[in-house]
């Protein structure tokens, strides 16, 4: 079933590319990029530098997290993706942020939790679920899952119904309740800004992977984040998971997150 859905989503992804084929989107698709107009077939060509995987995953090593490190990672992501900084609480947009252990892992809260965890900020981001409820809920396939597991948004197709936000059990999605552009401090021209009325979230830096770069947060994580191919037994992330017991958020819901936490 997983396979047939994957191939279905692959078609969805390709059609998203074809129909919503705007320059902003093309920059976010790794591997194949849209060839310049006027050139002969093939329409898509593989970039040599792109990082590829069977299924991208991340390990958050909470033992290496500190408040200042987390702030650095959040800032790097939000700067790279033109995430606006609204001063109004209700209009908040965030792709990656920190929260306490009892909020990241509701139900795992414990009176006798080690002291370290009581004050530790833990990173929260889109889990890039392998069985994503947001993709199931989206009525236009504006949210879709790629071959490599990344759950992406087509900002040009999203109608802003926010069904995906209700479907996400991790609160990982944000909605542009107003025009985000005036609230961007310093615009990064390499990534599209959004408009009001669409949903957005972490995309595992698909646009950076396409250029052979690691995700922005991973790059500044000083080893606290391990990013790699979950399907490759020889990858570093698999080595880390072999050697450490790691948990995932709300695993009982069956969403099959691709983000692991070493506590």
Separation of alpha carbons 260 and 59, rounded Å: 5
Q: What Rg do the C-alpha atoms of the chain give, in angstroms?
A: 18
Q: Give the binding site for other proteins (CB under 8 A).
A: 15, 19, 88-94, 99, 102-104, 106-107, 124, 133, 136-142, 157-163, 165-171, 174-179, 195-199, 250, 253-255
Separation of alpha carbons 165 and 163, rounded Å: 5
* Nearest to other proteins of 87, 243 (CB atom): 87
Minimum distance, C-beta of residue 153 to other proteins, in the bound complex (Å): 13
* Nearest to other proteins of 44, 177 (CB atom): 177
Minimum distance, C-beta of residue 166 to other proteins, in the bound complex (Å): 6
* Nearest to other proteins of 139, 212 (CB atom): 139
* Nearest to other proteins of 57, 133 (CB atom): 133
Query: 136 and 168 in contact (C-beta within 8 Å)?
Result: no
Q: How is 175-198 classified by DSSP, letter by letter?
A: E-SS--GGG-SS--TTS----TT-
Does residue 212 sit in helix, strand or coil? coil
Minimum distance, C-beta of residue 223 to other proteins, in the bound complex (Å): 26
Minimum distance, C-beta of residue 214 to other proteins, in the bound complex (Å): 27
* Nearest to other proteins of 179, 190 (CB atom): 179
Separation of alpha carbons 67 and 73, rounded Å: 10
* Nearest to other proteins of 79, 178 (CB atom): 178
Minimum distance, C-beta of residue 65 to other proteins, in the bound complex (Å): 17
151 backbone dihedrals φ, ψ, rounded to 5°: -95, 120
Residue of 225, 229, 232 whose CA lies nearest to 246: 225
Sign of the dihedral through C-alpha 55, 102, 225, 61: negative
Minimum distance, C-beta of residue 70 to other proteins, in the bound complex (Å): 16
Minimum distance, C-beta of residue 111 to other proteins, in the bound complex (Å): 15
Give kind and range of the element (H or E) at residue 229: strand 225-229
* Nearest to other proteins of 141, 238 (CB atom): 141
Query: Using the 8-state DSSP alphabet, how is residue 26 labeled?
Result: H
């Amino acid at each position: 079933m997983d396979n047939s859905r994957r191939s279905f989503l692959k078609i969805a992804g390709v059609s998203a590319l074809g129909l919503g084929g705007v320059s902003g989107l093309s920059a976010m698709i790794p591997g194949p990029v849209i060839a310049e107009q006027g050139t002969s077939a093939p329409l898509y060509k593989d970039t040599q530098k792109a990082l590829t995987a069977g299924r991208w995953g991340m390990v958050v090593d909470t033992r290496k997290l500190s408040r200042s490190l987390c702030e650095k990672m959040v800032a790097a992501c939000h700067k790279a993706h033109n995430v606006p900084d609204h001063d109004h609480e209700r209009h908040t947009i965030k792709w990656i942020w920190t929260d306490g252990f009892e909020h990241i892992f509701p139900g795992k809260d414990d009176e006798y939790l080690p002291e370290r965890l009581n004050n530790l900020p833990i990173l929260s981001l889109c889990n890039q679920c392998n069985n994503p409820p947001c993709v199931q809920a989206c009525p236009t396939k504006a949210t879709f899952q790629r071959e490599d597991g990344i759950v992406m948004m087509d900002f040009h197709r999203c109608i802003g119904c926010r069904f995906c936000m209700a479907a996400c059990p991790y609160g990982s999605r944000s909605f542009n309740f107003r025009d985000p552009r005036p609230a961007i401090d310093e615009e990064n021209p390499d990534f599209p800004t959004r408009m009001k009325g669409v949903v957005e979230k972490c995309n595992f830096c698909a646009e950076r992977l396409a250029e052979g770069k690691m995700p922005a947060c991973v790059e500044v994580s000083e080893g606290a984040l391990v990013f790699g191919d979950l399907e490759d037994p020889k990858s570093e992330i698999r080595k880390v998971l072999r050697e450490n017991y790691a948990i995932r958020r709300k695993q009982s819901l069956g969403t099959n997150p691709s983000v692991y936490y070493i506590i």
